[in-house]
Amino acid sequence: MKTTCLTALAALVLAGCAADDPKLRLYDNNDLELAVGNAAKMTCTCRFVMQMDEAYCRDWVRASPNVARFSVDTEKKVVEASAFIAWPARARLIDDKRGCVLE
């Protein structure tokens, strides 16, 4: 009886330790959402913070899957991106100290 109790206690302790171990966490992101967020934010900073040209920035932000399509409004300093006409993302330049924000 005593052995059974000790075994059960040990099992409980081990279970408690295991619960503290770093289980893998998965995030609720789909790849398209990430792709357009990346395209909008990084294109905005590439063009308006780093001041690189359009061709450089298109290559620089290219990610896999390469599905994001985006437009740059150089007057308003805004970049809008989407994938398959859905998953819209928008980034804009705040000012010359705080750069771009992904809205």
Partner 1 sequence: MHRVLISSILLSATLAAAQQCRSRASWPTEKWPEALVNPTAKAAELQALEASLFTLVGKPEERKGYRTNGLVVVKNGAVVFEKYARGWDATKRHLSWSVAKSVSSTLVGVAVNQGLMSLDDSLCKHLPEYANDPVVCAITVKHIVSFGSGLQWQEEYEDKGYQVSSVIAMLFGVGHKDQLKHVLTHRKLREPGTQFVYSTGDAHVVGTLAKRALTAKHGADAFWTQLFQPIGMKDVVVEEDAAGNVLGGSFVYATPRDFAKFGYLMLNDGCWDNTRYLPAGWVQAATTPSEVFRANRGDCSGQTLPANEYQLPCESTPNGFMWWLNRPPAAGVDKPWKDAPDDTYAALGHWGQRIIVIPSEDLVIVRTGDDRDGSFPVNDIVKAVLPVVKP
Q: Facing residues of 73 across strands?
A: 78
Question: Is residue 73 a contact partner of residue 79, using CB atoms and an 8 Å limit?
Answer: yes
Q: Is 101 in the site for partner 1 (CB under 8 A)?
A: yes
- Kindly identify the residues of this chain, within the stretch 68-87, that bind partner 1 according to CB under 8 A: none
Q: Is 8 in the site for partner 1 (CB under 8 A)?
A: no
Distance CA 42, CA 58 (A): 10
Q: Is 15 in the site for partner 1 (CB under 8 A)?
A: no
Contacts with partner 1 by CB under 8 A lie at 20-29, 31, 33-34, 37-38, 41, 45, 49-53, 56, 59-60, 63-64, 94, 96-103
